[in-house]
């Protein structure tokens, strides 16, 4: 890399450090400058994190190509430019490193731009955030999470006013606003936007709404469950408790939030081997079914026992077919639609034809 490029790189890093409110990532970048580590600096400053699957996520660290407080503050500026003053946003967060700090930072940016924030005071699963957007008729929802990514990642998922995840072309519009925005200063002046806490009422309403979607269940049903070190256990326990299901057997080492994910470096329930501990618990406890969520609770895996005593994970197509069949059982009339993607099984189409 030439001296001119090196000078530009150093200038970018110094400007970033001047605006970065986090002493940890500032120190990280200062060390790279001190060591003249231009290769690492180039990786962090030659590009930036951009919107991907319904939001933005990446490895935590200093610089625009890493996830950090300044990166998400800049995201909040871009969202503010899209929403405009007077809009309202619901903010939730999981138990990953810095999630609560990121949520607080984003609410401060929104306030500065006249956008009202309603922020949860405890960790929640992502579906609760989507539910809250609709319950409070908000304009957008922000969930601080990196979903099932490795432990050192973080980011945010964005939900629109209908509670559905961010989609095209709005994602591109917001990303353009992020790219055009200036780096916000370390100290953010409070604006006209209110910052209010969300009480447990919304979470309780969510649990009750989910529980009311099914009829009575057998109290003897035994369910093995793991949140994979994530934030869903309290919600799952409460929902099943409302239906009289108390025989929930958890994987002890995975039941409580732990941002380091010690037993599963890549906590995606669809990955091979991730559910081994769950199936061991299910087998030893003679459970009827085994369930797993990813760390932010919006991905589900289901395991069922086989005649040989082993456990098998249902495929996405199998779960989709079961859900389709269930929805057709509890609804009626001709004004119903079953929509599946081109990579989905044709089984749902056959179920719909017979409904």
Does residue 334 surpass a pLDDT of 70? yes
Does residue 33 surpass a pLDDT of 80? yes
CATH architecture, range 214-314: 3-Layer(aba) Sandwich (3.40)
Among 133-137, 241-245, 281-285, 326-330, the minimum mean pLDDT is found in 326-330
Question: Is 214-314 in the same CATH topology as 3-199?
Answer: yes
**Whether residue 102 has a cis bond before it, omega within 30° of 0:** no
Question: What average pLDDT is seen over the chain?
Answer: 95
For 154-212, write each residue's pLDDT tens digit: 999 999 999 999 999 999 999 999 999 999 999 999 999 999 999 899 999 999 999 99
Q: How confident is the model at residue 338 (pLDDT cuts 50, 70, 90)?
A: confident
Q: What is the mean pLDDT of residues 48-69?
A: 94
So what's the pLDDT on residue 53? Answer: 72
Does residue 353 surpass a pLDDT of 90? no
> What are the extents of the domains in the chain?
3-199, 214-314
Among 52-56, 178-182, 324-328, the minimum mean pLDDT is found in 52-56
Q: Tell me which fold the domain 3-199 belongs to.
A: Alpha-D-Glucose-1,6-Bisphosphate; Chain A, domain 3 (3.40.120)
Does residue 106 surpass a pLDDT of 90? yes
Q: Where are the alpha helices (DSSP H) in the chain?
A: 3-19, 23-34, 38-45, 69-83, 99-112, 126-135, 170-180, 200-211, 233-242, 276-285, 316-330, 347-354
Q: What is the DSSP string of 60-90?
A: BSSSTTSBSHHHHHHHHHHHHHHH-TT-EEE
Does residue 1 surpass a pLDDT of 50? no
Among 80-89, 163-172, 324-333, the minimum mean pLDDT is found in 324-333
Q: What is the mean pLDDT of residues 94-98?
A: 98
So what's the pLDDT on residue 9? Answer: 94
Check if 147 is active-site.
yes
Q: What is the mean pLDDT of residues 276-287?
A: 97
- Which residue is catalytic, options 88, 147, 232, 255? 147
């Amino acid at each position: 890399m030439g001296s001119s490029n090196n000078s530009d790189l150093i200038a970018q890093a110094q400007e970033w450090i001047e605006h970065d409110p986090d002493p940890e990532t500032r120190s990280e970048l200062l060390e790279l400058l001190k060591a003249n580590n231009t290769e690492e600096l180039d990786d962090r400053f030659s590009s930036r994190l951009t919107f991907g699957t319904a939001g933005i996520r990446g490895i935590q660290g200093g610089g625009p190509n890493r996830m950090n407080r300044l990166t998400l503050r800049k995201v909040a500026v871009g969202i503010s430019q899209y929403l405009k003053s007077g809009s309202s946003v619901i903010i939730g967060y999981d138990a990953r490193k810095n999630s609560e700090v990121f949520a607080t930072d984003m609410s401060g940016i929104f306030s500065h731009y006249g956008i009202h924030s309603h922020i949860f005071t405890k960790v929640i699963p992502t579906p609760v955030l989507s539910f809250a957007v609709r319950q409070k008729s908000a304009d957008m929802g922000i969930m601080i999470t990196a979903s099932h990514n490795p432990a050192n990642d973080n980011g945010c998922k964005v939900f629109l006013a209908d509670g559905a995840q961010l989609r095209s072309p709005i994602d591109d519009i917001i990303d353009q606003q992020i790219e055009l925005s200036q780096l916000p200063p370390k100290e953010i002046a409070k604006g006209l936007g209110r910052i209010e806490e969300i009480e447990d009422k919304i979470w309780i309403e969510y649990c009750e709404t989910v529980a009311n979607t099914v009829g009575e269940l057998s109290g003897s049903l035994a369910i093995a469950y793991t949140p994979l070190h994530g934030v869903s256990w309290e919600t799952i326990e409460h929902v099943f408790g409302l239906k009289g299901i108390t025989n929930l057997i958890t994987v002890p080492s995975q039941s409580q939030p732990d941002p380091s994910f010690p037993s599963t470096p890549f906590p995606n329930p669809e990955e091979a081997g991730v559910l081994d501990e769950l199936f061991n618990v299910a087998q030893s406890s003679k459970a009827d079914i085994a369930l797993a969520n990813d760390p932010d609770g919006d991905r589900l895996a289901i395991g069922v026992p086989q005649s040989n005593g082993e456990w098998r994970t249902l495929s996405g197509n199998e779960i989709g077919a079961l859900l389709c069949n269930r929805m057709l059982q509890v609804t009626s009339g001709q004004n119903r639609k079953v929509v599946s993607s081109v990579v989905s099984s044709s089984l749902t189409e056959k179920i719909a034809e017979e409904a």
